[in-house]
């Protein structure tokens, strides 16, 4: 099996890069306004993604996109922007070892939203895992 074709390979890489993002952002936001830092980060992401698309030959018209797709992609982008702004503000005033785990409460929220809004199903063991993520974040906050 090719690792790059598995969801967990990419999810694990995402976790590694998210961890590095928190560390780099904490150092980077030290002497600058958190919103300006978020803006710089966003520019870097746009340029990087543009170069990746160009290199892979994917930088072309996406074809016809439905209104529904546009609405949900715009909402997702707005959610991402709001998340980044809040995350950088939290990093500006808090420790990464506390901010990042609380940010990962998104795991709990995604599970709840996935079940209630998308009709997804989780097994009992998966719910235990979700509860452990939530409980771990709460313990970190209470102890910090």
Every domain of the chain and the residues it spans: 3-103
C-alpha to C-alpha distance for 136 and 104, rounded to whole angstroms: 10
pLDDT band at 26 (very low <50, low <70, confident <90, very high): very high
Q: What is the pLDDT of residues 96-105, one digit of tens each?
A: 989 998 998 9
C-alpha to C-alpha distance for 60 and 64, rounded to whole angstroms: 12
Read off the pLDDT of each residue in 38-64 and give the average, rounded to a whole number.
92
Read off the pLDDT of each residue in 22-27 and give the average, rounded to a whole number.
93
Q: Among residues of the chain, what percentage have pLDDT more than 90?
A: 78
Token readout for 101 is 């785990």
C-alpha to C-alpha distance for 92 and 94, rounded to whole angstroms: 6
pLDDT value at 40 more than 90 = yes
**Predicted pLDDT of residue 110:** 95
């Amino acid at each position: 099996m090719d690792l790059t074709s598995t969801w967990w390979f990419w999810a694990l890489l995402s976790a590694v890069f998210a961890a590095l993002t928190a560390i780099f952002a904490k150092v980077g936001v030290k002497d600058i306004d958190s919103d300006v830092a978020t803006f710089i980060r966003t520019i870097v992401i746009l340029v990087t993604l543009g170069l990746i698309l160009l290199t892979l030959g994917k930088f072309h018209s996406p074809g016809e996109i439905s209104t529904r797709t546009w609405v949900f992609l715009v909402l997702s982008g707005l959610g991402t922007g709001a998340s980044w702004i809040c995350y950088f503000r939290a990093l500006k005033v808090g420790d990464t070892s506390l901010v990042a785990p609380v940010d990962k409460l998104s795991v709990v929220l995604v599970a709840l939203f996935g079940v209630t809004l998308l009709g997804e199903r989780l097994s009992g063991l998966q719910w235990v895992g979700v509860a452990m993520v939530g409980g771990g974040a709460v313990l970190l906050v209470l102890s910090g």
